[in-house]
Amino acid sequence: MTDLRWQLLQGATIMTKATWEKIPADLRPELLRISQEAGTRLQKEIRASETKDVEAMKKRGLAVVPVSAAQKAQWQKLTESMYPQIRGKVVPAEAFDEAMRHRDEYRKQRGAAAGK
pLDDT in tens, 20-40: 999 999 999 999 999 999 988
pLDDT band at 48 (very low <50, low <70, confident <90, very high): confident
13-to-16, 35, 36, 38, 79 alpha-carbon distances in Å: 10, 9, 11, 12, 24
pLDDT for 60 equals 95
pTM: 0.54
> Measured between alpha carbons, how far is 34 from 106 in angstroms, rounded to an integer?
22
pLDDT for 115 equals 52
> Measured between alpha carbons, how far is 107 from 2 in angstroms, rounded to an integer?
24
> Measured between alpha carbons, how far is 40 from 43 in angstroms, rounded to an integer?
5
pLDDT for 12 equals 73
The 10s digit of each residue's pLDDT in 65-116 is: 999 999 999 988 998 999 999 999 999 999 999 999 998 998 899 875 555 4
Report whether pLDDT(62) > 60: yes
pLDDT for 94 equals 94
